[in-house]
Amino acid sequence: MTSTDSTVSQAPADRRVSSWWRMLAVALMVLLLIGWAASASMVEQLKAQIVHAQAQLAEQPQITQVALLVDAQGLPAMLATFTAKDHKLQLQRLNEVKEGREDSMQVWALGTDGQPRSLGIIESKYKTLQLPVLAADLQGAMELGISAENKGGVAAGTPPSLPWLFKGWLVNKAI
């Protein structure tokens, strides 16, 4: 026998893939598909949550104007914020000044024309309260002021009868 005959007589090497490798490949493919489906589902859920959060944010009232009213000594007395969507002027007392039994605190919008326009009477002694105010009521207003008036305030179209308790610039907030 020659050396070439010895190589021919040997059995050819087994080239088939083991069944364990096949099962492992199938299992990995299944895991890959499950992972892809889970990630696609999570992305869709995240998109839905973002859309929901944006819709909630759009419905929240946005403060459009702010005023810090100060007393005669220049100390903060009242914070006023206006939300155009809700048509509310929210007032927050920053000091302990309150109206007496026979007095009312009346809120005024002061425009460039110098004529104060009444926005309403503060009827609550709580720290925070709201007045219904339309955006048109604040149109052209540069300042807000609060005066102490006789119980019930002054008649419509009448300027304040007593001096200003608090006064402050009305600032349009950038949205």
Q: Which two tokens stand for residue 90?
A: 């929210």
Residue 152 CA to residue 82 CA, distance in Å, equals 23
Three-state SS across 2-56? CHHHHHHHCCCCCCCCCHHHHHHHHHHHHHHHHHHHHHHHHHHHHHHHHHHHHHH
- Taking the domains of the chain in order of start, what are their residue ranges? 17-59, 63-172
Give the pLDDT confidence of 116-155 residue by residue, as tens digits: 888 888 877 778 888 888 888 888 888 899 888 878 777 7
Label residue 54 left, alpha or beta by phi (over 0 means left) and psi (-120 to 50 means alpha).
alpha
Is the pTM here over 0.85, yes or no?
no
Does domain 63-172 fall under CATH 2.70.98? My reply is no
**Dihedral sign from CA coordinates of 92, 96, 97, 100:** positive
Q: Pseudo-torsion of CA 22, 27, 33, 36, nearest 10°?
A: -120
- The confidence band for 65, taking pLDDT boundaries of 50, 70 and 90, is confident
